[in-house]
Amino acid sequence: GAVVSQHPSRVICKSGTSVKIECRSLDFQATTMFWYRQFPKQSLMLMATSNEGSKATYEQGVEKDKFLINHASLTLSTLTVTSAHPEDSSFYICSARVTGGVQETQYFGPGTRLLVL
Amino acid sequence: AQKVTQAQTEISVVEKEDVTLDCVYETRDTTYYLFWYKQPPSGELVFLIRRNSFDEQNEISGRYSWNFQKSTSSFNFTITASQVVDSAVYFCALRDSNYQLIWGAGTKLIIKP
């Protein structure tokens, strides 16, 4: 199956700093990647859809200036949490879309646990 | 509106028992895709199955089986002879026309030894 990596897997930072999370598709090209956020014991919440070479599409309520997304290549999308605050602490998960009609599937990275002190 | 309902918040069974996780969906699309993902305690989401709306054949993969019923808009997942390693949160999802996934709330499955 398709493999998606995420880095870092865990990060602890001080309030006010920025954190960058990388999402890579290792064995396929992904024109579309998705960024999710998951709070404890809850389902995934889609934050934004990242398209290679164009601006990301953010879901309602997600601040695009706070959560910067860059999808500069077909295998890499990055999410930068700017001026992080404790309420940004969460589990961030990316996925990459494997296209191809009936084979259409999203494969997920292992997630990044962010703790803002 | 598109929606996925997993009414079972948590299920606890003893190892070797069979267990079924329910998933009911709502969509106005005539062509759609349904998915099941497993999320173990490590957090990584593992893809289990994809089902197209025009393929109602049930599927079996080892101890896992899926029952897709368009008439009741359900896509239930059964684990036969459950094992402790099956303990996880299981999510059912529906893909919309924008290729986004509509997620159920998840069912936490606890398999006791």
Identify the CA nearest to B101 among candidates A65, A76, A95. Answer: A95
CA-based diameter of chain A, in Å?
44
Instruction: Decide if B100 and A34 are in contact by the 8 Å CB cutoff.
Output: yes
Confidence class for position A101, pLDDT limits 50, 70, 90: low
**pLDDT for res A100:** 65
**pLDDT for res B100:** 85
Confidence class for position B31, pLDDT limits 50, 70, 90: confident
Residues A21-38: tens digit of each pLDDT: 999 999 888 889 999 999
**pLDDT for res B56:** 82
Confidence class for position B30, pLDDT limits 50, 70, 90: confident
Chain A nearest-CA residue for B42 = A110
Instruction: Decide if B50 and A105 are in contact by the 8 Å CB cutoff.
Output: yes
Residue that the structure tokens 């601040």 belong to = A63
The contact set of A with B (CB < 8 A) is 1, 32, 34, 42-44, 46, 49, 91, 93, 95, 97, 102-111, 113
Helices vs strands, H then E, count in chain B: 0, 12
Candidate from B45, B50, B100 with C-beta closest to A108: B45
**pLDDT for res A110:** 95
Confidence class for position A102, pLDDT limits 50, 70, 90: low
> Chain A residues with CB inside 8 Å of B46's CB?
108
